């Protein structure tokens, strides 16, 4: 998930979005033994051959995309367009931490494996929802600021009796599937000391487990690593951008890429190109496909690149899975200047294109174009806009390059409104593909952004410090916030990848909705930002069913079958970049973080508790003791250091504390909190970054925001009091 440099189109008004320990917890022995015994009795081992043949056992969901092609399509059809109205909640499981829930569960032989915040892994009886075991990798919470978009995790890989999780603080951990004990763990960082975090799901291929890296808002150099599943030993590593120019290149691909960069400023900054989300694999060609992220900084001039393509940022890259050897690449956004990651999930499909059978790769990244690419060669076959897109007029099929409208799009020297904004036309929330309808189902976001260069450019190379190359205008008017919230729009779009056109669309009131699942029952399932799980007919887009989720849903649903009954399951839990950065705007979704697994079946009779909507009174307000200049400085510092987690106007989007509600006791120890007193609770230390005067300027700004809030609340209450 990625942050945004500025929020929606109307943001002209000044609003912009911008340890090695472990802990295992076993469930009741009887329940655990029964389920594990059933799996063992079946005599099955999850391995690459079984994942590759996923269509042969539609009752399981063996990888995050169900199979290596990442289509997220279930051949099950017991639940269908004719009877989906009878779907009910079968069971629910509440996970430990109410933060963003982004994982796609995997299900094998009656057991579901999923993750919550801080990379905690859960093994659950997929029929009853009973916990079998839980594994907490004891993530170093002082590292919570080392990713742009919360301490999320998008799921596990399973195979050969193990469950593999990429722990947020940079470790790949193998867990014994039978009892939840740790088999091994390895440091996935490259030892460079650059900011590093893991949020994506690993991928099992053969006897290796692969994982990408995150951190391209900081000082990261992107790469993919492959580890031996028995020992945890590093097998190979592929970097996505070149390294230190004073040292030899790691391979010929890096030598090729270096020609597209100038100077050594990129090396000082790290380069970016992180592989923080999905990967796909073609067993026939042994090619691994992954998307890469933005460059560091976002602003091309601040990374010293007015013209260079900067390979392999914002690209699809194919490498040999066995060795990590480069095969081909296609760069979707050369010289990326807009945070247009290519990290949305990649879908592989066999289609008829222009009258000929083709093995293709389908991709709908943040930049607003839908790409159809020959997955053997990397040749671009077609590309068309699937969402409002102004930064480029079209993609030239002869050159494969976008035709950029520089008058509209180049904000590197002056502020411009650009569509899509850095939230993207489609972010990490997975799309699905139905071979039955031939359509792709995309969680689309219609949101443009104001992007503005730094007034005082400069790169801070310390760990955990944001470097996006731009300034964030500050929202001080909550009425404007409300107006802008109404301008955001999300959509579920059914897209024909061959005709390159929209077939149908459903509009959501908010952006940041969930991933999609397509099924043979002519259904598409998606969770929504406003706290629902919904089913539409896959062919026509008619809404057929919905159920409350108590919280915003971002993750992708799955389907599986046990004892002749089909289930639809999804992780629910509000969080990620939009609620964090968006602050008050995201709060207009009217949901709270409440992280849990929801599992539905026909005739399900379970129920959810009442959702959280507690009202918190304002504490005793502090006196503002700062002049206008100091308050302006405090606002500037807050935006640069605090807004990425606490929201643009200190609201926090309902995910982490709203700093306008600081108590007198918290104000008294504010400097200590900033210096790391609560690092074990996930509040990173900023010791050495700010002077005491700067810390106090931030605190005074927060006091002012508290007074602004009280004024707004009093105004809302006044008409009621008059009655």
Q: What are phi and psi of 87, to 5 degrees?
A: -70, 135
DSSP string computed for 287-318: EEEEE---BSSSSTTTTT-SS---TTTTEEEE
The order of strands in the sheet holding 516-519 is 73-74, 516-519, 523-527, 532-537, 543-548
Distance CA 100, CA 652 (A): 13
Distance CA 665, CA 580 (A): 24
> Taking Cα atoms as reference points, which of 351, 213, 216 lies closest to residue 279?
213
Q: Which residue has the tokens 């430990």?
A: 96
> Taking Cα atoms as reference points, which of 509, 541, 506, 519 lies closest to residue 600?
519
> Taking Cα atoms as reference points, which of 506, 508, 362 lies closest to residue 440?
362
Cα–Cα distances in angstroms (integers) from residue 557 to residues 88, 186, 326, 427, 569, in the given order:
15, 30, 33, 16, 6
> Taking Cα atoms as reference points, which of 21, 262, 23 lies closest to residue 136?
23
Distance CA 92, CA 90 (A): 7
Rg (CA), the chain: 24
Active site residue 228: no
Kindly state the tokens that stand for 571. Answer: 């992780």
Burial 542-559 (b: 16+ CB within 10 A, else e): eebbebebbbbbbbbbbb
Distance CA 704, CA 622 (A): 9
Other C-beta atoms within 10 Å of 246: how many? 7
The order of strands in the sheet holding 558-562 is 87-94, 596-602, 565-572, 558-562
- The residues that bridge with 133 in the sheet, in sequence order, are 26, 123
Cα–Cα distances in angstroms (integers) from residue 717 to residues 620, 706, 711, 712, in the given order:
18, 16, 10, 9
Contact status, residue 502 vs residue 494, Cβ threshold 8 Å? yes
Helices (H), 46-139: 48-52
Give Cβ neighbours of residue 717 (< 8 Å, ≥ 6 apart): none
Distance CA 231, CA 228 (A): 6
Cα–Cα distances in angstroms (integers) from residue 632 to residues 14, 18, 240, 473, 685, in the given order:
14, 18, 39, 12, 23
- β 326-331/223-228 pair status: unpaired
- The residues that bridge with 433 in the sheet, in sequence order, are 440
Distance CA 265, CA 177 (A): 45
Q: Which of 339, 341, 530, 658 is catalytic?
A: 339
Distance CA 192, CA 170 (A): 13
- Measured over the CA atoms of residue 387, residue 469, residue 515 and residue 486, the dihedral's sign is negative
Contact status, residue 74 vs residue 517, Cβ threshold 8 Å? yes
| Residue 310 burial (C-beta neighbours within 10 Å; 0-12, 13-18, 19+) | buried
> Taking Cα atoms as reference points, which of 72, 151, 158 lies closest to residue 122?
158
Distance of CA 16 to the CA centre of its chain: 20
Active site residues: 339
């Amino acid at each position: 998930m990625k942050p945004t440099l500025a929020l929606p189109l109307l943001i002209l008004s000044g609003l912009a979005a911008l340890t090695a320990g472990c802990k295992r917890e076993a469930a009741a022995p009887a329940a655990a033994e029964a389920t594990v015994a059933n799996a063992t009795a079946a005599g099955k081992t999850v391995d690459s051959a079984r994942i590759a043949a996923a269509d042969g056992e539609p009752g399981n969901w063996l990888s995050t995309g169900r199979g290596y092609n990442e289509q997220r399509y279930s051949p099950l059809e017991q639940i269908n367009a004719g009877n989906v109205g009878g779907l009910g909640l079968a069971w629910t499981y509440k996970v430990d931490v109410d933060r963003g829930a982004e994982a796609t569960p995997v299900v094998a032989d009656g057991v579901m494996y999923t993750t919550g915040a801080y990379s905690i892994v859960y093994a659950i009886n997929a029929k009853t929802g009973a916990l079998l075991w839980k594994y907490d990798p004891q993530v170093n919470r002082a590292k919570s600021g080392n990713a742009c978009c919360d301490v999320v995790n998008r799921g596990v890989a399973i195979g050969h009796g193990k469950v593999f999780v990429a722990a947020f603080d940079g470790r790949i951990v193998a867990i014994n599937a039978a009892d939840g004990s740790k088999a091994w763990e390895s440091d996935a960082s490259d030892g460079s000391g650059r900011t590093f975090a893991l949020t994506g799901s690993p991928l099992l291929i053969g006897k290796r487990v692969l994982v990408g890296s995150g951190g391209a808002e900081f000082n990261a150099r992107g790469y993919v690593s492959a580890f031996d599943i028995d020992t945890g030993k590093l097998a190979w590593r592929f970097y996505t951008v070149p390294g230190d120019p004073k040292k030899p290149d790691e391979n010929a691909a890096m030598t090729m890429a270096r020609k597209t960069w100038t100077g050594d400023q990129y090396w000082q900054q790290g380069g970016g190109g992180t592989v923080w989300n999905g990967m796909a694999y073609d067993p026939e060609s042994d090619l691994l496909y992954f998307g890469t992220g933005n460059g560091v900084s976002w602003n091309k001039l601040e990374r010293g690149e007015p013209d260079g393509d900067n390979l392999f940022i914002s690209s699809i890259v194919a490498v040999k899975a066995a060795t990590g050897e480069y095969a081909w690449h296609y760069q979707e956004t050369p010289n990326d200047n807009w945070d247009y990651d290519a990290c949305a999930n990649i879908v592989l499909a066999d289609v008829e294109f222009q009258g000929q059978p083709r093995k293709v790769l389908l991709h709908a990244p943040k930049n607003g174009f839908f790409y159809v690419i020959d997955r053997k060669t990397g040749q671009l076959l077609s590309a068309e806009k699937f969402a409002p897109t102004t930064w480029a007029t079209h993609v030239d099929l002869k050159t494969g390059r976008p035709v950029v409208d520089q008058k509209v799009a180049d904000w590197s020297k002056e502020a411009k409104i650009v569509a899509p904004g850095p939230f993207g036309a489609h972010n990490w929330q997975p799309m699905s593909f139905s071979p039955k309808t031939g359509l792709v189902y995309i969680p689309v976001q219609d949101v443009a952004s104001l992007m503005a260069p730094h007034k005082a450019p400069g790169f801070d190379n310390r760990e955990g410090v944001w470097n996006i190359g731009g300034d964030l205008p500050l929202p001080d008017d909550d009425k404007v916030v409300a107006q802008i919230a109404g301008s955001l729009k999300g959509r579920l779009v059914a897209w024909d990848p061959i005709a390159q056109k929209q077939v149908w669309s459903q509009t959501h009131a908010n952006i940041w909705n969930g991933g999609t699942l397509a099924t043979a029952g002519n259904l598409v399932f998606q969770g929504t930002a406003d706290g629902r799980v919904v089913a539409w007919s896959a062919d026509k887009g008619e809404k057929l069913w919905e159920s409350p989720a108590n919280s915003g849903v971002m993750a992708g649903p799955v389907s599986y079958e046990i004892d002749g009954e089909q289930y639809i399951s999804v992780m629910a839990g509000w969080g990620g970049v939009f609620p964090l950065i968006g602050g008050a705007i995201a709060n207009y979704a009217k949901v709270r973080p409440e992280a849990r697994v929801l599992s539905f079946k026909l005739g399900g009779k379970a129920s959810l508790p009442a959702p959280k909507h507690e009202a918190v009174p304002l504490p005793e307000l502090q006196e503002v003791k700062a002049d206008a200049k100091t308050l302006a400085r405090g606002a500037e510092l807050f935006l640069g250091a605090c807004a990425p987690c606490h929201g643009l106007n200190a609201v926090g989007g309902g995910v982490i504390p709203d700093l306008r509600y600081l108590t007198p006791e918290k104000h008294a120890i504010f400097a200590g909190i900033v210096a790391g007193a609560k690092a074990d609770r996930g509040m990173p230390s900023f010791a050495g970054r700010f002077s005491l005067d700067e810390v106090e300027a931030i605190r005074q700004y927060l006091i002012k925001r508290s007074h602004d809030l009280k004024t707004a609340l009093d105004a809302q209450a006044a008409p009621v009091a008059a009655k």
